[in-house]
Chains A and B, each alone.
Chain A
Amino acid sequence: MNILRLLQIEYLKFKSNSVIRLLVILYLIFLPIAIFMGKELDELPDFILSADVFFTFPEKAGEQGIWDYMGYIGNWMSYFFLGVVAIYILGIEINNKTLRQSVINGLTRKEYFLSKLSTIVLISVLASLYYGLCTLGIGWIHTEGATLSQALTNEWAMSRYFLMCMGYLSFAFLIIVLFRRPAVSVFLYLSYVLIIEFGIRMTLIYFKVPPEWTKYFPMNVVEDLHPFPAFKIPAAKMGPDYIKEILLSYPESALVSSLYIIIFIALSYRMFMNRDI
């Protein structure tokens, strides 16, 4: 089994696919551009002192800066554009029966699964590198007298970004493996992350489940890898207890989302290997 060969096969399949091109181009364009909306804001919430914080590297670790805001934008971009790509690369093959034809032609089911998994890993790696590159570039231009060590003070931001992409993409992939219908899967994926999980959490809280427990729902954990950096706001503005209640710490979200990623992949693998295709 050769991962490079599997990736080559995926490349041949999708290099000229217009939907994937569009989604990837939108990600590539919007990730660096969206942050500049910060310059257009007339009024900032009172806990953000200046729009500069969106564009500059933090003075020291633990303070908010461009790594956080770009990460937060990337959170939305990867959830939307890249998550849909993860559904599409399998969905279009189910629809056109090229999934079954690939297996008939000689890929083992395991190889086929690995071809998709390695594509998802590769997308996540490249998306994270792009995030790092954009952030360093924009931050370098906007931070006066930036030093390399200041630029790289980011609390493992790129690694967290990679885990976040893997979290979204492996969850999206699980949904398409489970439901096998691209349109239904895209709808379920988008609405689960945006609405359904939040609805379930609120319902549980309504029935007196402690709110801290509901933080461990999968997509909330993944989101907390690059949240809106509210917890870095000076404590005087919003109490630290409040922050603790709604957000997981970086190490905690990294650990729990890694577990979720393993579960999503293991479940998709099991289903994929045992069902008619």
Chain B
Amino acid sequence: MKVLETKGLSKNYGHIKALQNLNLTINQGEVFGILGPNGSGKTTTLGIILNILKASGGQYEWFEGQYKNPRLRIGAILETPNFLPYLNAEQNLRIVARIKNIESQNFDSYLDTVNLLHRKESKFSTYSLGMKQRLAIAATMIGEPDVLIFDEPTNGLDPEGIAEVRNILNNIAAMNKTVIMASHILAEVEKICSHVGILKNGTLLASGPVGSILSDEQIIEIDAPGRAELSNYLKTLPSVLKIIERAEFIEVHVPQEFDSTQLSKLCADSNIYINHLVIRKANLEEEFLAITQNAG
């Protein structure tokens, strides 16, 4: 089932085009990362689909239009954790549950999941940023929603907080729920998401499974005492797609089917003895930079 479909969504703030003609489809079970630099339109997109911001144009549909109020089936955090500061964790969660039409219940299991059970009687205003963020994640899970939305979930957290939140997000992603996550942190998206959409200046540059966004080229880092000789030799190989001279090594791009283990033998046969060889897949950061730079 299509969980979300947007058609030609756009948002203008005066002359500034925050979002332009966004067409996006997110299917059930996907962990979808919206990736983009600051100011690329990620939060604007989430704001529109959560009915907080009014779109200047286009439309969107949740759950193929099945439900009158789809937001009751969605748990979401937009930008910051938003709670009443003078209430404690449990009182704040009770409000969320009442909004979601869930009769009073025990919130201990939610608070335990995010490691806040011991502070459930403390006022929200006394929480650290990491605790606030964790409470917000607990709130999104109330009512077992079909879709969870997180906006820059590790923003502003210390390393320990980041690790904790990532751990929780990984657990949520493993529950087979549909997750939509905006982030400018590539490693976060790469580790957690199955699908990704790349936004820049309000325009969607690419979208699809993380594997399809990542090119299937192999990247080989290689070096030898005679760097120039090695470089010249590599240029003669027919399988080599691209050669980039790095400070520490030469980066060689070859097709996926290329047998990299043969490379050292081929070099040795040409009397070039390599002293550095690393074979790896392209990472999202490289693709992201390539895509956003090409888009200017």
Are the chains A and B members of one assembly? Answer: yes
Number of A residues, CB within 8 Å of B:
27
Number of A-B residue pairs having CB atoms within 8 Å of each other in the complex: 72
Residues in B whose Cβ lies below 8 Å from that of A184: none
> Is B53 among interface residues, defined by CB-CB distance under 8 A?
yes
Contact with A along B85-109 (1 / 0, CB 8 A): 1110001001110111100000000
> Is A5 among interface residues, defined by CB-CB distance under 8 A?
yes
Number of B residues, CB within 8 Å of A:
29
B52 touches A100 (CB 8 A): yes
- Which of B54, B94, B98 has the largest number of chain A CB atoms within 10 A? B98
B96 touches A92 (CB 8 A): no
Q: How far is the CA of A201 from the CA of B128 in the complex (A)?
A: 52
Residue of A nearest to B125 (CB): A96
- Which of A97, A101, A109 has the largest number of chain B CB atoms within 10 A? A101
Residues in A whose Cβ lies below 8 Å from that of B139: 105
Contact with B along A87-120 (1 / 0, CB 8 A): 0000011001110111111111100000000000
> Is A16 among interface residues, defined by CB-CB distance under 8 A?
yes
- Classify the secondary structure of B's interface with A: loop
> Is A277 among interface residues, defined by CB-CB distance under 8 A?
yes
A100 touches B78 (CB 8 A): yes
A8 touches B71 (CB 8 A): no
B85 touches A96 (CB 8 A): yes
Residues in A whose Cβ lies below 8 Å from that of B86: 16-18
Given contacts A96-B82, A97-B82, contact A104 B91 (CB under 8 A): no
- Which of B53, B72, B96 has the largest number of chain A CB atoms within 10 A? B96
A97 touches B51 (CB 8 A): no
B71 touches A12 (CB 8 A): no
User: Closest approach, in angstroms, between the C-beta of A47 and any C-beta of chain B?
Assistant: 49
Given contacts A9-B95, A107-B99, contact A101 B71 (CB under 8 A): no
User: Closest approach, in angstroms, between the C-beta of B21 and any C-beta of chain A?
Assistant: 20
A105 touches B53 (CB 8 A): no
> Is A237 among interface residues, defined by CB-CB distance under 8 A?
no
B80 touches A276 (CB 8 A): no
Residue ranges of A at the interface with B (Cβ–Cβ < 8 Å): 5, 8-9, 12-13, 16-18, 92-93, 96-98, 100-109, 274-277
